């Protein structure tokens, strides 16, 4: 039997989009998967995985809610001690009217705080809560879903989003440094334009202009991001830590 059967994977923001794709891929690879999301739809996403013969549970969780994250061990129950993989995928990208990025001069501080709270502090809270079970088993994989907005100037996302995702990459490097001695790797995946409800929220003209800069000439799919996350979660990626893998069709080349 694959060792993945004893490596429970927690995926945040897994009700739909990239997170749902990651949960499906990890489940197909034999991981029992906990899908966490604020949306009630997460129940149906998990049910569909169970109906396909996989092990999957849904929990309702706002990753920015410190008390709710602290209660994760209770929410996840008997699977908590078998945690092996954590994917910090939950994220928001508020846009101005018409799907355009909001100018900094017009950005309400409350919106700035909310984006940082979900995209950055949420990943900190969830990662911190998951350290004890990962350390206890001496093996672990943490993956941050950042963005090309953290790698180059963004034509699509607001400054709060770019700042949160850039911060997430810095946090990942610190966590990788701290947890390496415990056999835990921490890496980031920076997707380019991926066809999800979030991407559909951008104005059509914005998406078209972006496409012109993608050498592969198309948007990506959640499944294509999930393949890379599954690799990072595997034993094959044992010596990879603190890295950022760009999954953007070549739109950013460091």
Ligand X SMILES: NC(=O)c1ccc[n+]([C@@H]2O[C@H](COP(=O)([O-])OP(=O)(O)OC[C@H]3O[C@@H](n4cnc5c(N)ncnc54)[C@H](O)[C@@H]3O)[C@@H](O)[C@H]2O)c1
Please identify every residue annotated as catalytic. 161
Q: Which of 176, 194, 229, 230 binds ligand X (CB under 6 A)?
A: 194
Structure tokens belonging to residue 33: 């998967």
Minimum distance, C-beta of residue 183 to ligand X, in the bound complex (Å): 26
Residues forming beta bridges with residue 115, ordered by sequence position: none
Q: Which of 11, 198, 230, 245 binds ligand X (CB under 6 A)?
A: 198
Cα–Cα distance list, 155 to 91, 105, 195, 207, 246 (Å): 18, 16, 16, 9, 17
If the CB atoms of residues 139 and 171 are measured against ligand X, the closer one turns out to be 171
SS3 state at 197 = helix
CB 192: neighbour CB atoms within 10 A? 24
User: Is residue 187 within the footprint of ligand X (CB under 6 A)?
Assistant: no
- Considering only residues 98-117, where is the footprint of ligand X by CB under 6 A? none
DSSP state of 119: I
Minimum distance, C-beta of residue 161 to ligand X, in the bound complex (Å): 7
- Considering only residues 39-68, where is the footprint of ligand X by CB under 6 A? 39, 61-64
CB 3: neighbour CB atoms within 10 A? 12
Minimum distance, C-beta of residue 235 to ligand X, in the bound complex (Å): 25
Q: Which of 46, 85, 118, 143 binds ligand X (CB under 6 A)?
A: 118
Closest CA to 8 of 90, 83, 65, 114: 83
Q: Residue 210 phi/psi, 5° resolution?
A: -65, -40
Q: Which of 9, 11, 15, 33 binds ligand X (CB under 6 A)?
A: 15
Residue 161 burial (CB < 10 Å; 0-12/13-18/19+)? buried
If the CB atoms of residues 208 and 239 are measured against ligand X, the closer one turns out to be 208
Alpha-carbon span 146 to 162, nearest angstrom: 9
Residue span binding ligand X (CB under 6 A) among the ranges 51-59, 98-106, 190-198, 227-235: 190-198
Residues that bind ligand X (CB under 6 A): 12-13, 15-19, 37-39, 61-64, 89-93, 118, 122, 145, 147, 191, 193-194, 196-199
């Amino acid at each position: 039997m694959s060792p993945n059967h004893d490596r429970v994977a927690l995926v945040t923001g897994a009700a739909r989009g990239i997170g749902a794709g990651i949960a499906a891929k990890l489940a197909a690879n034999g991981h029992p998967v906990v899908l966490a999301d604020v949306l009630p739809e997460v129940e149906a996403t998990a049910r569909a995985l169970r109906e396909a013969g996989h092990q999957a549970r849904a929990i309702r969780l706002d990753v920015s809610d410190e008390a709710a994250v602290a209660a994760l061990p209770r929410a996840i129950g008997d699977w908590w001690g078998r945690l092996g993989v954590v994917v910090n995928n939950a994220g928001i990208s508020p846009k101005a009217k018409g799907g355009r990025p909001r100018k900094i001069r017009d950005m309400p501080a409350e919106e700035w705080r909310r984006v940082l709270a979900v995209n950055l502090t949420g990943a900190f809270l969830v990662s911190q809560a998951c350290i004890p079970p990962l350390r206890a088993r001496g093996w672990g994989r943490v993956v941050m879903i950042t963005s090309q907005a953290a790698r180059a100037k963004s034509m699509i996302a607001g400054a709060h989003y770019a700042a949160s995702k850039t911060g997430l990459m810095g946090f990942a490097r610190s966590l990788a440094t701290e947890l390496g001695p415990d056999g835990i790797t921490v890496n980031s995946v920076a997707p380019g334009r991926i066809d999800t409800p979030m991407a559909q929220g951008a104005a059509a003209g914005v998406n078209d202009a972006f496409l012109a800069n993608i050498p592969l000439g198309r948007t990506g799919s959640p499944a294509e991001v999930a393949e890379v996350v599954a690799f990072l979660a595997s034993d094959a990626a044992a010596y990879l830590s603190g890295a950022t893998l760009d999954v953007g069709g070549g739109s950013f080349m460091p």
